[in-house]
Amino acid sequence: MIESIDTSLVDWSRAQFALTAIYHWLFVPLTLGLAIIMGITESLYIKTGKEFWKYTTKFWMKLFGINFAVGVATGLILEFEFGTNWSNYSWFVGDIFGAPLAIEAIVAFFLEATFIAVMFFGWNKVSKRFHLTATWLTGIGATLSAWWILVANAWMQYPVGMVFNPETVRNEMDNFIAVAFSPVAVMKFFHTVLSSWIIGAVFVIGISCWYLIKKRNQKMALASIKVAAFVGLCASLITAWTGDQSGYQAAKTQPMKLAAMEGLYEGGYGLGLTVIGFVNPDKKAYDDGVKPILYEVKIPKYLSFLATREANGYVPGIRNLIEGGYPLPDGGIALSAEEKIASGKKAIAALDAFRQAQKDGNKEAETKARKMLQDNMAHFGYGYIQDVNQLIPNVPLNFYAFRIMVGLGFYFILLFAVLLFLIYKKDLTRIKWIQWLCLLSIPLAYIASQAGWVVTETGRQPWAIQNMLPTNAAVSRLQTSSVQLTFFLFLILFTILLIAEINIMLKAIKKGPEGEASTNI
C-alpha cells in the first residue's frame, strides 16, 4: 500500500488548496459579519419606524451582496478540489466528510438562496416583518453553512464517529451525532463565526470612519459605529474565551500543534506561555541542542493551565512527543513516534493480508489479519511516515501566526471598548486619530483571521486527517505540471475577482447611502 509519492506534487496540491482557501476566506467572514449587523439595523427600523434605519440597512446590504456573490464562486471551486487534487482522501473518508458538505448544500445554502432574493428585492413587495425575517434567515443560512463546513474541518482535526471497513478500504460513519456535535466542532464554530463578526464590525466601523473623515453621511456613520462597536466588543470577548477553550482541546487532541504554536521543544511542569518571542533560525531539528527561542516574555504557568487546567500540569514538547515516554493524563506512558510508525506499518500490512485472504477465501487468515488491523488501526496513518521529522509542523510559521492572531484579538477588544467610550462621551466627528485608526484597522482584521487559519491547518501537518491519513497518502495521482498550471490559473482568476470586488465596493462606498441615511448631523 505504501507507494512513492512525488513530494513536489504534494506541495503544489497543498499550495493550490491553500490559495483557494485563503481567497475564499477573504469573503466568508465579511458575509457572516455584515449579516448580523444588517439584521440589527433592520430590527431597529421595524422597532422605531424610522426610514433612516431602512436606508442604513440597504447600504450595508449592498456591500453584503457584492461580497456574497464572489464568495460563492470561490467556495464551489474549493469543494471540487477535494475530488480533483485529493481523490485518495475523498475515497478513504468520503462517506463521513461528504455528509456535512451535502447537508450544507441542501439545507443551509438553499435557505440562503431562497431568502436572499426576498431580502434584496422584496422591500416594497412583502410586509416589513416578513422582510426582516428574510434578512435574519439569510444570515442564519450563511451561519448554518459555516456550521456544516466547520464540522467537516473539525472532523479532519479530530476524527470521531466512524469505523474502518477493511472490505471497502473506507472509513464509514457510525455515529452522525458524534461527527456533527463533537466538542472540537462546536468550539471551532463559535470561535470562527464570532471572529467573523469582528471582521464585519471592523469593516463597518472603518467605512463609517471614512465618511467621518470626509465629513459626509455622518448620521449613518455614527449610528453604524454604535451598532458595530457593540457587536464587535461582545464578539471579541467571547472569541477570546473560545480561543482559550480551543487551546485546551488542542492540548488533548493535537499536542504537536500546541507545541509548535509555543515553540516548545522540551516539555515540563508549570510552564509559562510566551507572549513575545523570537524563534531561533538556527534551530533545525528537535534534538540538535540549539535553543529554540532567542528572547521571550512569558506569562508564568499559563501554558500549563491552558493545556491541563492546572498551574503545574505537564505539557509535552516536540522532543517529548517524538521520543515518547512521558506520562499521559490517563496514567499511561506515551508511545514514541517510531513505535507509532511501526504500529502503523503493521496495520497497513494487515490490511493487505486481509484483502489477499479474502481473495483466496482463507477465513482463518482473514480473521487473523482483521484482528491485527484492529489492534493497530489507531496508528494507521503513521505507517505512511518515512521520517519522524515529518511529524513536526513548521514551528516559526505557527509560532508567529499564533501571536499575530492573539495580539490582534486583544487589540480589537481595546479598540471597540475605546470607540464605545468615545462615541457616547465625546464628539467622535472631531477625533481624527481614532477615525484613521479604525479605517486602517480593516486589513488587520483580515490578517488576524487568516493567521488563525494558518495555525489551524499548518499546525496539524503532515496530516490531512489527524493521525489517520497524511497528505502524501491523500493526494491524487496527477502530473505535478497540471497542478502547477491550475495553481497559476486560479491565482490569476481569484486576483481578478478580488480586484473587481474591491473596485465595485469602492464605487458603492463612494456613492454612499441614500435617503435619510445620506445626511450629516
Per-residue pLDDT of the chain (521 residues; tens, 9 = 90+): 444 456 789 999 999 999 999 999 999 999 999 999 999 999 999 999 999 999 999 999 999 999 987 887 777 788 788 888 999 998 898 889 888 888 887 877 777 778 888 999 999 899 999 999 999 999 998 899 899 999 999 999 999 999 999 998 899 999 999 999 999 999 999 999 999 999 999 999 999 999 999 999 999 999 999 999 999 999 999 999 999 999 999 999 999 999 999 999 999 999 999 999 999 988 888 888 889 998 899 999 999 999 999 999 999 999 999 999 999 988 899 999 999 999 999 999 999 999 999 888 899 999 999 999 999 999 999 999 999 999 999 999 999 999 999 999 999 999 999 999 999 888 898 999 999 999 999 999 999 999 999 999 999 989 999 999 999 999 998 889 999 999 999 999 999 999 999 999 999 999 988 877 777 76
For 120, the domain range is 28-259+388-518
- What is the tally of structural domains in the chain? 2
Helix axes 442-458, 432-440, angle to 10 degrees: 30
Clarify whether residues 253 and 265 are in a common domain. no
DSSP 378: G
The C-alpha angle 407, 152, 24, rounded to 5 degrees, equals 60
Q: Is residue 213 domain-shared with residue 275, that is, in the same domain?
A: no
Q: Is 510 helix (H, G, I), strand (E, B) or coil?
A: helix
What are residue 296's DSSP bridge partners?
277
Give dist(CA 214, CA 216) in Å, integer: 6
Strand partners, 278: 295
Query: Does residue 294 fall inside a structural domain?
Result: yes
Buried b / exposed e along 166-187 (16+ C-beta atoms within 10 A): beeebbebeeeeebbebebbbb
My answer on whether 249 and 267 are in the same domain is no
202 in the same domain as 77: yes
Same domain, 270 and 411: no
| Cα gap 18→402, rounded to integer Å | 18
Distance CA 94, CA 156 (A): 12
**41 belongs to a structural domain:** yes
Position 337 in a domain: no
Clarify whether residues 237 and 316 are in a common domain: no
- Domain final position from 320, 335, 354: 320
Residues 86 and 206 in one domain: yes
Contact (Cβ atoms closer than 8 angstroms) between residue 469 and residue 383:
no
What digits encode the pLDDT tens for the residues 391-416?
Answer: 999 999 999 999 999 999 999 999 99
The 10s digit of each residue's pLDDT in 303-324 is 999 999 999 999 999 999 999 9
> 424-455: string of b/e by CB count within 10 Å (b at 16+)?
eeeebbebeebbebbbebbebbbebbbbbbbb
Residue with C-alpha cell 444570515? 139
Judged by DSSP in three states, 446 sits in helix
Residue 225 makes CB contacts below 8 A (sequence gap 6+) with: 204, 205, 208, 209, 419, 423, 428, 438
CA 460 – CA 470 distance, rounded (Å): 10
